[in-house]
Amino acid sequence: MVQLYIANKNYSSWSMRPWVLLRQAGIDFEEIFVRFDSFAPDSQFKAALKGINPAGKVPVLVHDGLAVWDSLAIAEYVAEQFPEKKLWPTDRAARARARSVCADMHSGYLGLRSACPMNIEAQLPDIGALALRDKPAVRADLDRLCNLWSGLLREHGGPMLFSDFSVADAYFAPVVMRLNTYVLPVPADVRAYMDRVRALPSVKAWTLGALAEQDFIDFEEPFRLHR
């Protein structure tokens, strides 16, 4: 049995990636929810993960007693365990490129990620406009992201980044949610891709779960005092 430890769907972008990957691929798993309460060493969040992930973070996938943490490591593990799902592109060059763009997302786009934290329930167009006006790193990240997506869609013909759904689409799904929340301007082809990602059954299910939480966590809310 596959178990996946995640945190709040509204805020936890890293949790979203493997959850969407598993759900979209039709891989059965048990969701174990660990609410963000604090990241202090004595928090309930850290206590719940003690003994599962030494880093005390989500997501964590547990399969046959083996714990795998870090969303990219989880994606690789799932792709190995379920090769019939073809979660990476079958073409060698495309597969290498898909891994590259996922790794780039994993460690990059820090301007966009820090200025526009994931908050699916919120609509923050004014914050997005200010971030674009005042933060060169956000503008640079947005331009790079749009160029990347547009190029991959042209090269592989869509509808997803590498034609069929892959780890790359699951990996960028939280970015799609960020662009939507902060109403950041994107070209028409990128907007169409975002709409297709948001329409994926897995992403729709995650979004509904995020909206149903009705949970306002102050340290995850740099721009609002209440819902």
Regarding whether 180 and 161 lie in a shared domain, the answer is yes
* CATH classification of the domain holding 80: 3.40.30.10
Q: What is the pLDDT of residues 72-119, one digit of tens each?
A: 999 999 999 999 999 999 999 999 999 999 999 999 999 999 999 999
Domain membership of residue 62 as a residue range: 2-85
Q: What is the pLDDT of residues 170-227, one digit of tens each?
A: 999 999 999 999 999 999 999 999 999 999 999 999 999 999 999 999 999 999 999 8
Regarding whether 54 and 154 lie in a shared domain, the answer is no
Q: How many CB atoms lie within 10 A of CB 214?
A: 9
Q: How many domains are contained in the chain?
A: 2
